[in-house]
């Protein structure tokens, strides 16, 4: 189960610090309007994308951007917990879960 700390929450921007335990993963989803940036702070994070299909592995100091409408999920496939900063902005927040 992830541990989340909401750092900024406005009508146009959300910033969250998220700790994922080893082996944990989020759900496949997309956002209708938001641009999402994932910044790895500690450990290793994998971002899976369905458009185009692929996987981006982030180490501390690296980031990945996901555009509105792109189906994705975030995973910690390593053997230790990881921490990342999630910056979502420039639009109304939604989280649309999808089956893949």
Residues of the chain with confidence (pLDDT) below 50:
none
Parallel, antiparallel, or unpaired for β 29-30 and 96-97? Answer: antiparallel
State residue 10's pLDDT score.
Answer: 87
State residue 1's pLDDT score.
Answer: 61
Model pLDDT for residues 67-93, shown as the tens digit of each residue? 988 999 999 999 999 999 999 887 777
How far apart, in Å, are the Cα atoms of 95 and each of 6, 43, 58, 62?
16, 25, 22, 24
What number of residues does the chain have? 100
* Number of other CB atoms surrounding residue 44 within 10 Å: 19
Q: pTM value?
A: 0.86
- Cβ proximity of 86 and 37 under 8 Å: yes
**Would you kindly state where each structural domain of the chain is located, as residue ranges?**
3-97
The correct CATH number of 3-97 out of 1.20.120.1770, 2.60.120.10, 3.40.640.10, 3.40.630.30 is 2.60.120.10
């Amino acid at each position: 189960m992830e541990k989340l700390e909401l750092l900024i929450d406005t009508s146009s921007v959300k910033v969250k610090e998220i700790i994922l335990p080893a082996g944990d993963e989020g759900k496949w989803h997309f956002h209708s309007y938001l641009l999402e940036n994932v910044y790895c702070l500690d450990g290793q994070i994998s971002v899976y994308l369905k458009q185009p299909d692929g996987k981006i592995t982030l180490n501390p100091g690296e980031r990945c951007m996901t555009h509105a409408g792109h189906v994705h999920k975030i995973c910690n496939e390593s053997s230790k917990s990881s921490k990342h900063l999630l910056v979502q902005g420039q639009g109304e927040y939604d989280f649309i879960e999808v089956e893949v």
